[in-house]
Amino acid sequence: MREFSRIGVVGCGLMGSGIAEVCVRAGLDVKVAERGEEALAAGRSRIVASLDRGLRSGKLSEPERQAALDSLAFTVDLDELADRDLVIEAVAELPDVKTTVFKELDRVLAGSDAVIASNTSSIPIIDLAAVTGRPQQVVGVHFFNPVPVQRLVEIIPTQLTSDAVTEQVTAFAANIRGKTVVLARDRAGFVVNALLIPYLVSAVRMLESGVASAEDIDNGMVLGCAHPMGPLRLLDLIGLDTAQSIAESMYEEYKEPLYAPPPLLRRMVAAGALGRKSGRGFYAYGD
């Protein structure tokens, strides 16, 4: 079976940096592309800080840390991904942004048999594959945040993805230490978010209607249902803007009211209260 050894990652935010980190820790050659030098520097700092935490905790040796850094390259030029055999898109959860990236990657990788994957949380993969000339080589590879910690990877083939590509990408994800793979049909939300998003937006509606406080809603689910984190704290971790985009994508596909973003969620996003990454969401976060 074909093995991927040269990995490209487009986007170096929370998800992209995490994907790049687990790939280099798996011994792969990784090149990360970002839109500008500032975003690229922030992403590199995020990866280095995570590797340093692994070193301090004893989960990573100094030679392993250095080998990971040596396997990483960074660029602001998407054309420099032309030598990659698997490129994973991890940009903002916005259909227009992702389709633009897929069109560019299709151009950059023209003439090669490279696979293009998306880390989208909810956008149907076929919508991205359709803007390329290689739909049989497009697949969803959905990691979860934080990528170095969360064990699950969803693999989402479309009706047009070749069986060989599905098998190859599944093997790639399964060979990353600590990861477990599930296969999902190409429907908005896939497996996890199709179950998770209605639960999360229900918690926002409960808070919005005054049924209980944020703390009591979260404590109810943590202490009453043995969840590791309450739904509102989880939304802060995911990012309220990301959750809103996922909910909108799912509502667009199914038109089910349970997927629709509540007004409170929309207002918080508009106000810039995005959760941990902005310093405030349903809770406040200090430095």
Active site residues: 121, 142, 154, 193
Burial of 154 (0-12, 13-18, 19+ CB in 10 A): buried
190 closest CA partner among 130, 144, 133: 144
Give the span between the Cα atoms of 25 and 194, in whole angstroms.
30
Q: How many Å is the Cα radius of gyration of the chain?
A: 19
Query: For residue 276, what are the CA distances in angstroms to 13, 91, 151, 241, 260?
Result: 14, 18, 21, 11, 23
- Asked if 68 and 27 touch (Cβ cutoff 8 Å), the reply is no
Q: How many helices (H) and strands (E) are present in the chain, helices listed first?
A: 11, 8
Structural tokens at position 243: 């959750």
- Dihedral, CA of residue 82, residue 83, residue 85 and residue 89, to nearest 10: -40
């990360």: which residue's tokens?
32
Q: CA angle 117-121-127, nearest 5°?
A: 60
Bridge pairing between strands 86-89 and 72-75: unpaired
Q: Which residues of 57-71 are buried (b: 16+ CB within 10 A; e: fewer)?
A: eeebeeebbeebeeb
- Asked if 124 and 186 touch (Cβ cutoff 8 Å), the reply is yes
Query: For residue 177, what are the CA distances in angstroms to 17, 21, 156, 173?
Result: 17, 12, 20, 9
